[in-house]
Amino acid sequence: MQSPPTGRARIGVDIGGTFTDLVWVDETTGAVRVGKLLTTSTTVVGPRAARLNLLAGPFP
């Protein structure tokens, strides 16, 4: 199991027609985590939701 990112981080979210892509970069360690979720009409993605999804991992 991968350790959760710590310290300061940057989150990127790209909401597309089919998938929502998530990227987390831990600025302290340089660790990068990525995720891909199916986009639906009820998809709610913001910094908090992205963080929770990335910490939950793993992703395809």
- The Cα–Cα gap between 31 and 48 comes to 18
- Going from N- to C-terminal start, the domains of the chain cover 9-56
- 32: which strand partners? 25
pLDDT of residue 22: 85
Q: What is the mean pLDDT of residues 39-60?
A: 64
Q: Average pLDDT of the chain?
A: 74
pLDDT of residue 60: 47
pLDDT of residue 39: 79
Neighbours of 60 (CB within 10 A): 6
Residues, the chain, total?
60
Q: Collapse the DSSP code of 36 into the 3-class scheme (helix H, G, I; strand E, B; otherwise coil) and give the result.
A: strand
- Selection from 18, 8, 12 nearest residue 50 by Cα: 12
